[in-house]
Structure 1
Amino acid sequence: MALATDAEIFAEQGYIGPFTLWEPDEMTAWWKQQRRALLDPGNTARRVFDNPVNYDRHLDIPGLSRLVTEPEIVRRMQAIIGPDVLCWRTEFFPKNPGDSGTGWHQVETYAIGETSQGMLEATEHSPGIPMELTCWVAFTEASRENACMKLIPGSHRQWRYDEHAPMRWNAAAADNSFFGYDYADIKIDKDWDPEQENVRHLEMRAGQFFLFTARTIHGSNPNIGRRQRMGFAIRVVPTHVRVYGGMTEFDEFGHHFDLDRHGCVLVAGQDRYGLNRMAATNAWGEPFAPVERTV
């Protein structure tokens, strides 16, 4: 019997992986270098977004610039969403010892917060092909004890949350919230309990990654261990998706974001649509090198 392809597994589960990018020792040494760069005042001054969230540091940290075009990652993205791929956002997801778990949530257009306007808009629709994809890279070990991700396989096929319903951000919210947003408030069926589903806990070694659509209901466990868990999300879309369409700024997680310096990165193939502002180089003037159009 032939083995299922990445695309077939993804269609069934809403995610694929984990896969190994680097061995743990290699990732640990690499991440140590990136931490130093993140704390460098010169690099901080180059940030696209001036706030504590640390969005899009791939635009000013060379190591992260190269990570978003890593062929081992990008070719698996191409197998899911096609040959032409844009990175529209990256972000860090730390969980320190004692931190609560991140509540279950489900999105697609990233209409997060008090507005119903999504950040992503598909201009084409292909059955079975998601309009967005996230690669979650484990910079450290991610175990059930120290806050690994959790998902509900197959949940991408049914909307359980109304992502366009407004939510209020609450800085004091902890357990079962998504960094201050309570998705329980926007459940379509208030009696539905995600904990009663077939929950999959994605334990990973440092240097591993997995891919998922944000339509797959996901969250994370609390960190009851003694070590920080650090994950890094690379968020991508096919080139037919409009990013931040018409927006010049937005508010999220209690912070204000000005889009004047934002740009998408072509990580694979070519951009035949020209819908988005692009970043051809990082803040150091180094060009991004898209993976070839292999699919």
Structure 2
Amino acid sequence: MDPNTDAATFAEQGYIGPFTLWEPEEMNAWWKTQRRALLDPANNARKVFDNPVNYDRHLDIPGLSKLITEPEIVRRMQSLIGPDILCWRTEFFPKNPGDSGTGWHQVETYAIGETSTGMLEATEHSPGIPMELTCWVAFTDAMVDNACMRVIPGSHRKWQYDEHAPMKWNNAAKDNSFFGYNYDDIKIDKDWNPDQQNVRNLEMRAGQFFIFTARCIHGSTPNVSRRQRMGFAIRVVPTHVRIYGGMNEFQEFGHRFDLDRHGSVLVAGRDAYGLNRIADTNAWGEPFTPVESVV
């Protein structure tokens, strides 16, 4: 791993990868174990959010607790946003056979839905260094025919969508939507067509991952195969970013999320700011072990 190469590639593209974390056989066996844990009523009783979206299962599933601090992932994140990093959210992204593709979208503060208030607020700004990153891990093969991720390289340098403009959630919305939110409604230039840009399909085998800023316009192809695609997003920020500032709850995808039990996880370095509630252990009392800072 070359941090300088990662940083240069990221500055140009808005993402790096794919990289191999585990070989497909290892990931397949690991994911089988996690599926059993996700169905365990004892784990479900410990979920932070009581709703079907399945946010933040790293806080109650031990295997996912370890995944978010995998050095192969965290070191690459450190090369892009610095040594001190918090994981503020994880989420699953399944695509079942017949599911439509996820529409193009672009965010940074995660002001998603009918509010203009973002979930993330940077208290410091450094040119060229993003305030957020997502690591997208392929738990299964993700090919063009079963909903691989797709990106527009370099699109992180210009806003094509106004993420603070209000959108109405529509559960029936399928094509060109982000799980019920239609980003076409908030395009800055209504004539700009993302499909006519330099689109890159990111095919990955099970056990691979890529890292991107959500400012890099992204979506997915439809699943026209007979195979499920399962992706897992690890979302992180530098420790100077305030998370869910002042919120007790939020609304997304037609559900209410109570933040009373939420805590961010220090996955690398140290937290010198103290802006956010920190979860030191998962729901089973197992400590999170951050990767050491790098110089």
What band does the TM-score fall into relative to the shorter chain?
over 0.9
Deviation at 1:221, TM superposition (A): 0.3
Distance in 1 between residues matched to 2:83 and 2:160, nearest whole Å: 30
Distance in 1 between residues matched to 2:13 and 2:171, nearest whole Å: 33
Distance in 1 between residues matched to 2:4 and 2:187, nearest whole Å: 33
Distance in 1 between residues matched to 2:189 and 2:175, nearest whole Å: 20
Give the secondary structure class of the aligned counterpart of 2:261: coil
Matched, 1:221 2:221: yes
Equivalent residues in 2 for 1:80-229 (5 A)?
A: 80-229=80-229
Distance in 2 between residues matched to 1:255 and 1:21, nearest whole Å: 33
Corresponding position of 2:285:
285
Deviation at 1:4, TM superposition (A): 6.0
User: Could you tell me which amino acid in structure 2 is paired with residue 46 of structure 1?
Assistant: R
Deviation at 1:17, TM superposition (A): 0.1
Give CA deviations for 1:86-123 in whole Å, capped at 9, x if unaligned. Answer: 00000000000000000000000000000000000000
Deviation at 1:26, TM superposition (A): 0.2
Give CA deviations for 1:196-226 in whole Å, capped at 9, x if unaligned. Answer: 0000000000000000000000000000011
Deviation at 1:3, TM superposition (A): 10
Corresponding position of 2:7:
7
Q: How many residues align?
A: 294
Distance in 2 between residues matched to 1:234 and 1:287, nearest whole Å: 18
Distance in 2 between residues matched to 1:43 and 1:283, nearest whole Å: 8
Deviation at 1:193, TM superposition (A): 0.2
Corresponding position of 1:59:
59
Give CA deviations for 1:219-263 in whole Å, capped at 9, x if unaligned. Answer: 000000110000000000000000000000000001100000000
Deviation at 1:54, TM superposition (A): 0.3
Distance in 2 between residues matched to 1:237 and 1:170, nearest whole Å: 29
Q: TM-score, normalised by structure 2?
A: 0.99
Distance in 2 between residues matched to 1:88 and 1:236, nearest whole Å: 6
Structure 1: 4+ residue segments shifted above 6 A:
none
Corresponding position of 2:33:
33
Matched, 1:74 2:70: no
Give the secondary structure class of the aligned counterpart of 1:134: strand
Structure 2 unaligned residues grouped into runs of 5+: none
Corresponding position of 1:269:
269
User: How big is the alpha-carbon RMSD for the aligned residues of Structure 1 and Structure 2?
Assistant: 1.0
Q: TM-score, normalised by structure 1?
A: 0.99
